[in-house]
Amino acid sequence: QKRVYMFDEGHKGMRQRLGGKGANLAEMTQIGLPVPYGFTVTTDACHDYYEDGKQLSSTIKEEIIQSLRKLEESTNKQLGDKEKPLFVSVRSGSVVSMPGMMDTVLNLGMNDETVEAQKALTGNGRFAYDSYRRFIQMFSNVVLGIDMYFFESHLDEIKEEKGYVNDPEMTEADWKEVVASYQEIVEKHTRQPFPQDPIEQLMLAVNAVFDSWNNKRAIIYRNLNKIPDSYGTAVNIQSMVFGNTGDDSGTGVAFTRNPSTGENLLYGEFLLNAQGEDVVAGIRTPQPIAQLESAMPEVYKQFVDVSLLLEKHYRDMQDIEFTVEQGKLYILQTRNGKRTAASAVRVAVEMAQAGILTKKEALLRVEPEQLNQLLHRRIDDNAELNQLTKGLPASPGAATGKVVFDSEEAQEFYARGEKVILIRPETTPDDIQGIIAAEAVVTSRGGMTSHAAVVARGMGKPCICGVESLKIDTPAKTFKVGDIEVRHLDTITIDGGTGAIMLGEVPMIEPKISEQFNQLLQWADEEKAIEVRANADNPEDSSKALELGAKGVGLCRTEHMFMQPDRQKLVKEMILSSTVEDRKEALEKLLPIQQEDFEGIFGVMRELPVTVRLLDPPLHEFLPDKEELIVEVTTLRLTEPQSEELKEKEFLLKKVNELAEVNPMLGHRGCRLGLIHPEIYAMQAEAIFNAAITLHKKGIQVKPEIMIPLVGHSNELKIMRQLVIETAEKVLGAANVKVEYTIGTMIEVPRAALTADQIAYEADFFSFGTNDLTQTTFGYSRDDAEGKFLQSYLEDRILPENPFRVLDNEGVGQLVEMGVKKGRAVKPSLKTGICGEHGGEENSIEFCLKTGLDYVSCSPYRVPLARLAAAQATI
């Protein structure tokens, strides 16, 4: 089988064999662009190389020599020739672009004789010796493994000796001197003279490229980007063109559009009288590409034509390398340009508008997760960063604030109008108020799905988790990273999108939703075959959801209303009541407040459906922490044994003990609460209907969907449904108002899915609560799993993914499918949706679509992502 392809034998479809760079060089050759001729040694040869114990077989060597002969014929030059020497570059190029991961050798073929021939041919000895010393430097580094430092420091010494600042001041004699001393450096390191035989140079270089496939940084990069080790790299051998012959030459890199904004304008840099990597190496400051126009107008015009042609040909923004040799343009590389989220969106939309792409193709061009970047404040790209440390980028966005170490303090400072960042080892549900008050949250433990991460993402608040280098001393209110100590109320800045923590304040850019962003999502809405709603517990979140394109609220958690500080007293009163009468009295006081909550949300969502879940968590979650109470009671007994306060606290402690559960996740919560204390659900239903009446009077016909949580047996739902209907009849009847409401349930325990047909008799809709359904199906308590064993499960690949992040299609997914099928068999009109966090995750959305759900519901900030992911899944 063929192991070497000349550039005119390949094409862009041969990426797997020729590597990305080789395939595109072949393609550009085929379409007639000015590409220096050459050939590609395939990735198959790379596999052979490793199979043969890291050496090139004689047949591959033979094929390389034959191809070299063809190259020599076509260029009319020969490698190592004393009159017309050929010089080549040896360039690595893997299947997937691995920028900067592997190395390239330029000017191969240079030796003591060919350098003189090059001098004679060009009449430019300075150039010839400069090229030679570059070759020795690169070859020694890449192939012989000698550290660049030895060459660079030597060159610096010589320049200093001669009083030069820049390389261009070096003369031919100077470079000649450098070449001689470089050869000495090599001999000192390898105990052998610098190889003079060009064929030997070539074979050694090919070996080195193949070897580089398994160097450390390449392996790390592959692991990070999930690139299979089995791909291997190809090697491209290409005749050299020189950008460093004088001021009619140069080299540059350009993007066909702006890679950070997407603006449709050639964007790039070039350097006069320079070779290859000088542009990226930062030795000299390159000039903006527009200045090429004044320096070489003809070349510029030609380059603009090439860039337009390449973009059309590849139907995507291109990143192009070029070199000008004595006024003639050569193209050395093209690939699809890497870009920011903003650029990705703008390029996709504008290419569709220009007819280069179809709308569907444009929708597939943007990664849904990328959209996140666009909705959050972020750090100015030009800012100087004083980075302290890094953690997991748990929730995007940037924030600056003073550090505080507990939730109470966060609230205190927030109340005074201060911006704070909450630093905790980890957060618990008790920290909710602190998280609300803080600009951002940082935890030293926990992963991307820890409590802090989930809550912060839900609120669209920046969060960094698992910052292991952060040594927090909570009592002392300080944290340390290495030797650096950050104290209480010191200012830091965090970037939740990258996980970086910085000292002090850093300039930020506010998010701006672009015209193109809205356009793309509008196209997504036209394509997608599944609706997107948002989880929202208050009017602010509802407005955000609406603004970001949600078509309703899929989950309104009423317990969040109970947790507001101004309600806590009433809620406590309600829980502590010893008789039903007392409890009803307390509920009576909560009713108008709850009603106001609903009026707020309904007022925002108007005619769109709002699914309200009746109270779900166990009651003890609303009471103070038991350990803390014990400390308080003990102290009071010693200091003020007669006080009223002690009596109160003792009573509270007794109640807390009564309500305490061994397994709260599986305890007295959800509809079990409603069944034992029907007055609570009745009050909530009344508040919902009262709110609907208020809006009805304003001419708004709201559509409440009342949802009973944690049902496992149809009888549970039957009784609760009856309670809601009775309440509706009473409240609506008295006001003589009609409200279009429905009653449904969450499917979040396996038994509900298994008996979905029976449950469907009592339900107008099912909402799959996949957070709890995942807990109950796996038998994991999420808080324990994520903090303890799940991480090592993932590392050891016992589980392919965190099932709380990506819906487990195989297991939990079966229950969802079953629920939908059994439910619809009984009630074809049954509305179905998902309201777990999975509703905002790409793969899970695809599953929901396939399973035939009517909608997904996710946090407001993930709505755009979900709209795009839904469209992509539909296409």
Where in the sequence numbering do the catalytic residues fall? 451, 835
Please, which residue, 115 or 820, has the CB nearer to ligand ADP? 115
Please, which residue, 20 or 125, has the CB nearer to ligand ADP? 20
User: DSSP 3-state assignment of 858?
Assistant: strand
| 809 touches ligand ADP (CB under 6 A) | no
| 499 touches Mg ion (CB under 5 A) | no
Planar angle of CA 600, 605, 610, nearest 5 degrees: 95
| 679 touches ligand ADP (CB under 6 A) | no
Q: How far is CA 773 from the centre of its chain?
A: 26
β-sheet bridge partners, residue 532: 856
| 19 touches Mg ion (CB under 5 A) | no
Query: Which of 195-203, 234-242, 456-464, 558-566 is the region at the interface with ligand ADP (rule: CB under 6 A)?
Result: 234-242
| 236 touches Mg ion (CB under 5 A) | no
Please, which residue, 249 or 872, has the CB nearer to ligand ADP? 249
Residue 94 CA to residue 210 CA, distance in Å, equals 10
β-sheet bridge partners, residue 553: 534, 610
User: DSSP 3-state assignment of 632?
Assistant: helix
Planar angle of CA 146, 147, 153, nearest 5 degrees: 120
Partner touching 373 among ligand ADP, Mg ion, none, CB below 5 to 8 Å by kind: none
Amino acid of residue 694: T
- Cβ proximity of 58 and 41 under 8 Å: no
Annotate each residue in 748-767 with x if it binds Mg ion (CB under 5 A) or - if it does not, as one string: x-------------------
CA distances from 736 to 594, 603, 689 (A): 22, 21, 12
Answer for which of 29, 114, 140, 238 binds ligand ADP (CB under 6 A) is: 238
As annotated, the binding site for substrate includes 557, 613, 748, 769-772
Residue 805 CA to residue 392 CA, distance in Å, equals 15
Partner touching 20 among Mg ion, ligand ADP, none, CB below 5 to 8 Å by kind: none
* Residue showing the smallest CB distance to Mg ion in the complex: 772
From the CB of 637, what's the least distance to Mg ion, in Å? 39
* Pure H helices in 213-340: 216-225, 278-281, 290-295, 297-314
As annotated, the binding site for Mg(2+) includes 748, 772
Partner touching 499 among ligand ADP, Mg ion, none, CB below 5 to 8 Å by kind: none
- List the one residue out of 264, 366, 367, 360 whose CA is nearest residue 318: 264
Partner touching 3 among Mg ion, ligand ADP, none, CB below 5 to 8 Å by kind: none
Residue 430 per-residue DSSP state? G
| 307 touches ligand ADP (CB under 6 A) | no
Tell me the three-class secondary structure of 513-560, residue by residue.
CCHHHHHHHHHHHHHCCCEEEEECCCHHHHHHHHHCCCCCEEEEECHH
Please, which residue, 38 or 458, has the CB nearer to ligand ADP? 38
Count CA atoms closer than 13 A to 171's CA, side-chain side. 3
The residue to which tokens 């549970």 are assigned: 716
Answer for which of 311, 319, 409, 772 binds Mg ion (CB under 5 A) is: 772
Residue 621 CA to residue 640 CA, distance in Å, equals 28
Number of residues that bind ligand ADP (CB under 6 A): 15
| 245 touches ligand ADP (CB under 6 A) | no
- Map the footprint of Mg ion across residues 376-415, applying CB under 5 A: none
Query: Which of 139-147, 238-246, 287-295, 365-373 is the region at the interface with ligand ADP (rule: CB under 6 A)?
Result: 238-246
Pairing, β 392-395 against β 398-404: unpaired
Residue 858 CA to residue 866 CA, distance in Å, equals 8
Residue 54 CA to residue 62 CA, distance in Å, equals 17
Answer for which of 241, 289, 717, 728 binds ligand ADP (CB under 6 A) is: 241
Residue 180 CA to residue 178 CA, distance in Å, equals 5
Answer for which of 25, 60, 106, 728 binds ligand ADP (CB under 6 A) is: 106
- Map the footprint of Mg ion across residues 296-335, applying CB under 5 A: 333
Answer for which of 85, 397, 769, 860 binds Mg ion (CB under 5 A) is: 769
Answer for which of 41, 86, 170, 332 binds ligand ADP (CB under 6 A) is: 332
Partner touching 769 among Mg ion, ligand ADP, none, CB below 5 to 8 Å by kind: Mg ion
| 235 touches ligand ADP (CB under 6 A) | no
By CB under 6 A, name the binding residues for ligand ADP.
36, 89, 91, 100, 104, 106, 238, 240-241, 276-277, 321, 323, 332-333
Residues within the interface to Mg ion (CB under 5 A)? 333, 748, 769, 772
